[in-house]
Amino acid sequence: MIIDCHGHYTTAPAPLWEWRKRQVAGQDPGPLRIPDDEIRETLEKAQLRIQRERGTDLTFFSPRAGSMEHHVGDARMSESWSRQCNDLIYRVCSLYPSNFVPVCQLPQSPGVPPENCIPELERCVRELGFVGCNLNPDPSGGWWKSPPLGDRFWYPLYEKLVELEVPAMVHVSSSCNPAFHFTGAHYINADTTAFMQFITSDLFKDFPALKFVIPHGGGAVPYHWGRYRGLAQDMGKPPLKELLLQNVFFDTCVYHLPGIELLLKVIPADNILFASEIVGAVRGVDPETGQYYDDTRRYVDAVKWLAAADREKIFAGNVSRVYPRFNRRRNA
Amino acid sequence: MIIDCHGHYTTAPAPLWEWRKRQVAGQDPGPLRIPDDEIRETLEKAQLRIQRERGTDLTFFSPRAGSMEHHVGDARMSESWSRQCNDLIYRVCSLYPSNFVPVCQLPQSPGVPPENCIPELERCVRELGFVGCNLNPDPSGGWWKSPPLGDRFWYPLYEKLVELEVPAMVHVSSSCNPAFHFTGAHYINADTTAFMQFITSDLFKDFPALKFVIPHGGGAVPYHWGRYRGLAQDMGKPPLKELLLQNVFFDTCVYHLPGIELLLKVIPADNILFASEIVGAVRGVDPETGQYYDDTRRYVDAVKWLAAADREKIFAGNVSRVYPRFNRRRNA
């Protein structure tokens, strides 16, 4: 069993993007009409084909991250856009319940306290069976105007996440800041930034059951693991393992073998969740290997020294432990 | 011969910081008086002791990065502060010419076109024998309001850098943005961000002789080398080697062995410059090794598969090639 904890509906049908265009233009976007067959087609030729080709079984599936665009419009616009995107994810997962597991977008909006996300989160989790959500630490889209994730600003949302037993993947959206290329700088920086925000906070003392997944292999964190261990130590914090590895997990969206080897070497196997982010940031074939850059399963498979029990954890065991609602759903 | 291309005068004597306090408070800071012995003392017990203990020979030495504080005050304040800091570096290098090589801070200021830095750069290079400079891609201190490094905004400064044969280390200062811990997020993010700005620009077509060193092991870049190769490829850019490895170099400020191994495995030896950033971001002893986290020489030494010729390049050969003024000085 191989479960990919990080996939986005980047290939969603055109009517969704047209609806969004009308919404952003201030027109009445009207009802969103997409026939089931159109949804099937976008998946059959992309995510489902890739699952088959690469031999993965299940993908945790959320709306396109770059299109969450929390910075566009106000909280009401963000909410109605989030509903559309989440409803579409629900339809995908209902059409292909053995291929996709639903993860929702939250209707965040710059400057708006995140409790505004609670109704949509509850709707998705309680009514539609979603098992996780994506939390944007920078709804301003590259201007980083929100308090750090350890700030009490975020606590009402965390209380709800704990109550619902829903982990959050820390995932920014597109960048309006010309300094930050979105998938090459903003995404990776956000991962690194969030981890450092966790180190400097008391978050997991206050919420011992709160769980975050940091995508894209944890940004720069595993590569600079010595730096982070040393910074925490200089601050008088407990070792990282104790400080946050009960609460923070990394995915495997690292697109070359040496990167995956480092991740597996440095981060405990209990804290790594398999993922590829299909169809995502990098779509080409690596001329050095003749394989797709984002075919992360090949890299994990190629690490021969990885113990079988650890491989199983990374491919499936951890995700069931970290996402209790997925686990119950699976065993239901 | 082991040359460390990245050290800051973090231990500068108290009168410097008092001068700065008066300046920032809007008082006449008066002349800066520091006896030679006081300079000697701050170095003997720190950087010089560490050089001896670790068996390194020479350190490229610049003002404390976190104190450049380009965001404080206006361009005039930045200029007079930069002069003080650079003059002090000059004194250090005059007192210990066989231990330190001078690298200057630039009087950048948010929103001010960087040609304002040219007089201080010329003074340092032509009059005081400096061989390099630190360039801050974000003089706003964590708000990222400057155009990307590929923008023509920066070109007048680049023309001067090329004319003077002076490479720039891309190095931010402290962060006023509460989202970014300065050494744990802002520094690393800036490295990653700058590299992606280089990928998306035509900078090195326009300035084939311009050279940048990206510190802290290149931020997240080597760990995500596949991602960056893939992103460039998806954009129709030439391979990274061709696109920018004649112009962009990484230092070895990565504070654990697996990180250094990855760096040496992924980045061509010609593009790696030895560095430890003493006395820098992480000051403790790693309980897992019993050695200082920032004793990066041990990690490079521990990589047994590194060819002797490559080791020599990383420890000394590359820095002489990348910094022509250092090379001429050394051979003078």
Question: In DSSP terms, which residues pair with B135 in a beta bridge?
Answer: B170
Q: How confident is residue B40, by pLDDT bands cut at 50, 70 and 90?
A: very high
Mean pLDDT, chain A, whole residue set: 97
Contact at CB, A144 and B180, closer than 8 angstroms? yes
B254-264 residues labelled b (16+ CB within 10 A) or e (exposed) = bbbbbbbbbbb
Identify the band that residue B193 occupies on the pLDDT scale cut at 50, 70 and 90.
very high
Q: What was the ipTM of the complex prediction?
A: 0.98
Is pLDDT above 90 for A332? no
DSSP string, A273-320: E----SS-S--SEETTTTEETT-HHHHHHH-TTS-HHHHHIIIIIHHH
- Mean pLDDT of all residues in B191-196: 98
- Please give the average per-residue pLDDT across B316-331, as a whole number: 94
**pLDDT for A232 beyond 90:** yes
Considering CB atoms only, which of A148, A197, A223 is closest to B222?
Answer: A223
- The verdict on a CB contact (< 8 Å) between A266 and B258 is yes
- Tell whether B192 is within 8 A of chain A (Cβ): yes
Q: What is the Cα–Cα distance from A198 to A325, expressed in whole angstroms? A: 24
Mean of all residue pLDDT scores within chain B: 97
Q: What is the pLDDT of residue A329?
A: 86
B212, amino acid identity:
F
* Residue entry with tokens 């030495």: B61
Q: Where are the beta strands (DSSP E) in chain B?
A: 3-9, 58-63, 100-105, 132-135, 168-170, 212-214, 248-251, 272-273, 285-286, 291-292
The residues, any chain, with a CB within 8 Å of residue A275's CB and separated by 6 or more, are A4, A5, A6, A7, A60, A215, A251, A252, A253, A296
B68 burial via Cβ count (<10 Å: 0-12, 13-18, 19+):
buried
pLDDT level of residue A293 (50, 70, 90 thresholds)? very high
Inter-chain residue contact A220 with B222, CB threshold 8 Å: no
Q: How confident is the model at residue A53 (pLDDT cuts 50, 70, 90)?
A: very high
Percent of chain A with pLDDT over 70: 100
| Nearest Cα residue to B155 out of B125, B120, B118 | B118
**What is the value of pTM for the model shown?**
0.98
Q: How many CB atoms lie within 10 A of CB B138?
A: 26
* Pairing of β B285-286 and β B212-214: unpaired
| Cα of A315 vs its chain's centroid, Å | 16
Contacts of A137 in chain B (CB under 8 A): 179
Q: Dihedrals φ, ψ of A145, to 5°?
A: -105, 0
- pLDDT tens by residue, B54-107: 999 999 999 999 999 999 999 999 999 999 999 999 999 999 999 999 999 999
Please determine, for residue A216, whether its predicted confidence score (pLDDT) is greater than 90. Answer: yes
Q: Residue B296 above 90 pLDDT?
A: yes
Query: Would you call A110 helix, strand, or coil by DSSP?
Result: coil
Query: Is pLDDT above 90 for B288?
Result: yes
| Active-site annotation of A, residues | 277
Inter-chain residue contact B233 with A144, CB threshold 8 Å: no
For the stretch A245-268, pLDDT in tens is 999 999 999 999 999 999 999 999
Instruction: Assess contact for A136 and A106: CB atoms under 8 A.
Output: yes
The pLDDT confidence band at residue B174, using thresholds 50, 70 and 90, is very high
CB B228 within 8 A of CB B240: yes
- The answer to whether A28 faces chain B, any CB pair under 8 Å, is no
Q: What is the model's pLDDT at position B332?
A: 78
Identify the pLDDT of residue B329. Answer: 86
For the cut 90, the answer to whether the pLDDT of residue A275 exceeds it is yes
Please compute the mean of the pLDDT values over residues B227-254 and round it to a whole number.
98
CA dihedral A3, A7, A13, A16 (to 10 degrees): 130
Q: Give the separation between CA B207 and CA B113, rounded to whole angstroms.
A: 19
Hey, is B207 helix, strand or coil?
A: coil
Q: State mean pLDDT over B148-171.
A: 98
- What are the structure tokens assigned to A269, written together? 């196997």
In tens, the pLDDT along A92-149 reads 999 999 999 999 999 999 999 999 999 999 999 999 999 999 999 999 999 999 999 9
Q: Tokens in use for A35?
A: 């026939």
Q: DSSP labels for A112-162?
A: S-GGGGHHHHHIIIIIH---EEEE-S-TTSSS--SPPTTSGGGHHHHHHHH
Q: What does the angle CA A171 – CA A173 – CA A176 come to, to the nearest 5 degrees? A: 140
Q: How confident is the model at residue B190, as a pLDDT?
A: 98
Q: What are φ and ψ of residue A50, in 5° steps?
A: -65, -40
Percent of chain A with pLDDT over 90: 98
- Taking 90 as the threshold, does the pLDDT of residue B330 lie above it? no
Span B35-42, mean pLDDT?
98
Using an 8 Å CB-CB cutoff, list chain B residues near A220: 188-189, 192, 219-220, 223
Rounded to an integer, what distance in angstroms lies between the CA atom of residue A66 and that of residue A56?
A: 24
All residues of chain A having their beta carbon less than 8 Å from the beta carbon of residue B265 are 258
Predicted pLDDT at B303: 98
- Helix crossing, A225-234 with A187-199: angle to 10°? 30
Residue B331 confidence class, pLDDT cut points 50, 70, 90: confident
Is the per-residue pLDDT at B293 higher than 90? yes
Interface of B with A in 257-316 (CB under 8 A): 258-259, 261-262, 265-266, 281-284, 286, 293-294
Question: For A236, which residue in chain B has the nearest alpha carbon?
Answer: B284
pLDDT-derived band at A11, boundaries 50, 70, 90: very high
Sign of the Cα torsion A210, B227, A268, A279 reads positive
Cβ proximity of B257 and B217 under 8 Å? no
Instruction: Looking at the complex, report in whole angstroms how far the Cα of residue A5 sits from the nearest Cα belonging to chain B.
Output: 19
Residue A27 burial by CB count (10 A; 0-12/13-18/19+): exposed, middle or buried? exposed
Q: Is the peptide bond before B166 cis (omega within 30 degrees of 0)?
A: no
Quick one: pLDDT at residue B95?
98
Give which of B195, B230, B218, B65 is closest to A223, Cα–Cα. Answer: B218
From A167-171, A205-209, A268-272, A326-330, the region with the lowest mean pLDDT: A326-330
Residue B168 reports pLDDT greater than 90: yes
B277 among known catalytic residues: yes
A126 CA to chain B: closest CA distance, Å? Answer: 32
Task: Provide the pairing of β-strand B248-251 with B212-214.
Answer: parallel
Q: Is B95 on the interface with A (CB under 8 A)?
A: no
Contact B173, B78 (CB under 8 A): no
Set of chain B residues whose Cβ sits within 8 Å of the Cβ of A224: 188, 216-217, 254-256, 259
